[in-house]
Amino acid sequence: MDLVRRIDRAAGEFLLFALTPPRLATAHERVQQIADATMARLRPLDLDGLILYDIDDEAARNPARRPFPFVPTLDPANYLADNFTSWQTPVIVYRAVGKYAPSELRTWLAAQDPARVMTVLVGASSSKIDTMTSLADAQALRRDANPGLSLGGVAIPERHSRRDDEHHRLLAKQDAGCRFFVTQVVYDVNAAKNLVSDYHYECVARGRAPVPIVFTFSVCGSLKTLDFLRWLGVDVPRWIENDLKHAADTLEASYQLALAAATELMTYCRGLDVPFGINVESVSIRREEIEASVRLAERLRAEIKG
């Protein structure tokens, strides 16, 4: 069963791999070289799908200094259309909807083939940001322009830890048309399990069927990367930070932590019969981190029953 049908049937046990497009300043011929190398690296993994992120400057989310400077990247929709034409699985294209005028977003949504493309519509990272299109308006555009296009939403375990209402947000997003959810990188497994548990029992109470939650995992090759994840709002438990800080090999330690966390969450979701997917994120340009991400996906493929 391919990914689109799995999502349509609210079935879990699938594996995704997430990428950011090359930098906007990358030479045209180099962009295709990067795409070709990426596809060659990923094809042996037997992935169910690919995620292409839409990078936005999120400076308004956090007044602290950004650990890494913001660097604009290519539009993921164009990267898919121009450079990934030979890729065989469905692709989930993120859209930071505040960057796009309604007419531009409608045109893109209407042009997508629901058998090949799905989308995650992402709202602004802060209410202080002026946007061209709100998340609610973008969801309405999708319903009007291409109702068959599978829509995903963002799930944030960290927000649930602070507000205890993320499960209600997920169900509201389901009412708005979301058929799956994707988390940001998971380091706090307990926060993710709390969200899964509350979501499951709220679905039972309302007589609703849960939809797949895709949990994102990534390796971390440096403490500065860890600082950046925290800047983005990812909760990193102190014991994990300590383990990585004092590890002889930070990258290998993060690999083992991600593997253990993913395995624990898969077991927990199966016990509650909550459908899930696993997403391995690779956004680094460092070869050793890219290779470790591929190795993580390869290892997790063996744990997925789909």
- What phi and psi, each to the nearest 5 degrees, are found at residue 134? -80, 165
Cα–Cα distance for residue pair 202/208, rounded to 1 Å: 8
Cα–Cα distance for residue pair 215/100, rounded to 1 Å: 27
For residue range 251-277, what is the model confidence (pLDDT) as tens digits?
999 999 999 999 999 999 999 999 999
In order of 47, 155, 186, 272, the CA distances from 269 in angstroms are 20, 15, 15, 5
pLDDT at 37: 96
Neighbours of 252 (CB within 10 A): 14
Question: Alpha helix (H) ranges present in 207-286?
Answer: 223-231, 238-246, 250-272
Would you say 146 and 114 are in contact if contact means Cβ atoms under 8 Å apart? yes
Would you say 92 and 77 are in contact if contact means Cβ atoms under 8 Å apart? no
pLDDT at 226: 84
Number of H helices, E strands in the chain: 12, 8
What is the chain's alpha carbon radius of gyration, rounded to the nearest angstrom? 18
pLDDT at 168: 93
In 3D, which of 292, 273, 298, 296 has the Cα closest to residue 13? 273
pLDDT at 150: 98
Hey, which residues does 278 pair with through a beta bridge?
15, 215
- What is the full per-residue pLDDT of the chain (306 aa) written as tens digits? 799 999 999 999 999 999 999 999 999 999 999 999 999 999 999 999 999 999 876 555 556 666 567 778 999 999 999 999 999 999 999 999 999 999 999 999 999 999 999 999 998 765 666 789 999 999 999 999 999 999 999 999 878 667 878 999 999 999 999 999 999 999 999 999 999 999 999 999 999 999 999 999 999 988 888 888 888 778 889 999 999 999 999 999 999 999 999 999 999 999 999 999 999 999 888 899 999 999 999 999 999 986
| 204: CB partners within 8 A, 6+ apart | none
| 78: CB partners within 8 A, 6+ apart | none
- DSSP E strands: which ranges in the chain? 14-19, 49-52, 91-96, 117-122, 151-155, 178-185, 213-217, 276-282
pLDDT at 234: 84
Domains of the chain: 3-305 (3.20.20.220)
For residue range 109-119, what is the model confidence (pLDDT) as tens digits?
999 999 999 99
